[in-house]
Amino acid sequence: METVTSLSELRAARAELPEHVGIVPTMGYLHDGHLSLAERARDECASVVATIFVNPTQFAPEEDLDAYPRDLERDLGLLKEVGVDLVWMPALKGMYPDEFQTWVTVDDLTQVLEGTSRPTHFRGVTTVVAKLFNGVQPQKAYFGQKDAQQAVVIQRMVKDLDFPIEIVVCPIVREADGLAMSSRNTYLNPEQRQAATVLYRSLSAAKAAFEAGERQAEKLRAVVAEMVDAEPLAQLEYISCAHPETLRELQGAVERALLSMAVRVGKTRLIDNLEVGR
Ligand code: AMP
């Protein structure tokens, strides 16, 4: 497994890779969720490029950029074990040189859900992903359903800007008790870690209600909201029942929906989602 930092090194190494190439963009501090994307890429592509870059432009000033966990040595060991061929770890100045002023923005899809609480987040994501795509020139790119809105936004960007890249969205990998794996779970103390199970518990309760015949979007949201309210260490930021592709909030009877939520447990902000009616 080769590792590179500069764009010129990346391009030289990329030119040697057998086609097709799959990319797995990450911010590092890898867990089994990230590794499931790399494994899928390895199974579907001749070569796999993973990227590790804690992208400052997708963090707001008050967010956890400085605290974001990092363990490069461990990450590289895990990627090697999975069979990744090349790891690109761009330097900050390499990605955002002085005078940088060009942004990729996706309009409506980024104004809702996560975009409401994090108005500059997706501009950072789409800009860095466009740059990662331009550098690596992959045929396929692997993203997690954990960040459901991100996957929808990236798919829109790829269509709108004619990137010749197939986006593959992989299922959420969870801990044994249902908590979606996330690098941010490491912020939780034992009591908070226990409380954090309320995200998946409440989404699962809404899904069970749907499967038992409940179709009203308002009711499905209420099932989640009531369960989170009952957990003293958790504060609900939003619960959405939206169309899985347009992300428009649904009212009345639904046939298919993306239930997604953000919850604060202490200072840690956690997200999760579940689709119903697939
Ligand atoms: P991040 O390092 O948080 O930027 O995540 C990198 C990629 O891994 C994104 O496409 C995420 O959606 C995906 N990912 C993160 N957590 C999980 C998970 N628990 N299951 C599946 N994919 C995940």
Closest-CA residue, ligand 1 atom 17, reads 33
Give the mean pLDDT of 243-262: 98
**Residue 222: predicted pLDDT:** 98
Hey, which of 30, 34, 78 would you mutate to test ligand 1's pocket, going by the most ligand atoms within 8 Å of its Cβ?
A: 34
Check residue 188 and report its DSSP letter.
Answer: -
271 lines ligand 1 (CB under 6 A): no
- Examine the pLDDT at 213 and tell me if it is beyond 80: yes
**Mean pLDDT for the stretch of residues 215-228:** 98
Question: What mean pLDDT is predicted for residues 64-73?
Answer: 96
* 143 CA distance to ligand 1 middle (Å): 7
Report pLDDT digits (tens) over 34-55.
Answer: 999 999 999 999 999 999 999 9
Who contacts 128 (Cβ-Cβ below 8 Å, separation ≥6)? 25, 53, 55, 57, 58, 95
The mean predicted confidence, pLDDT, of the chain is 98
Domain ranges of the chain: 2-170, 183-276
The residue type at 114: E
pLDDT at 20: 97
Predicted local distance difference test score (pLDDT) of residue 4 = 98
Location of structure tokens 């956890």? 64
pLDDT tops 80 at residue 70: yes
Ligand 1 atom, smallest distance to 150 CA: 12
pLDDT band at 278 (very low <50, low <70, confident <90, very high): confident
pLDDT in tens, 17-26: 999 999 999 9
Average pLDDT over residues 59-83: 97
Ligand 1 centre distance from Cα of residue 34 (Å) = 5
Give domain 183-276's CATH superfamily: Pantoate-beta-alanine ligase, C-terminal domain (3.30.1300.10)
Residue 245 predicted with pLDDT over 80: yes
Concerning whether 34 is annotated as a catalytic residue, the answer is yes
At residue 210 the predicted structure's pLDDT band, cuts being 50, 70 and 90, is very high
> In angstroms, rounded to a whole number, what is the distance separating the alpha carbons of residues 55 and 130?
13
Query: What is the Å distance from ligand 1's center to 147 Cα?
Result: 7
* Cβ contact 35:95 at 8 Å: no
> Taking the model in full, what pTM does it have?
0.98
Q: What average pLDDT does the segment 90-105 reach?
A: 98
- Cβ–ligand 1 distance for 75 under 6 Å, the answer no
- Cβ(260) – ligand 1 distance below 6 Å: no
Tens of pLDDT, residues 146-162: 999 999 999 999 999 99
Class in CATH terms, 2-170: alpha beta
Quote the pLDDT of residue 227.
98
**Ligand 1 touching residue 180 (CB < 6 A):** yes
| Backbone region of residue 83 per phi and psi (left: phi > 0; alpha: psi in -120 to 50; beta: other values) | left
Query: How far is the centre of ligand 1, averaged over its atoms, from the C-alpha of 54 (Å)?
Result: 13
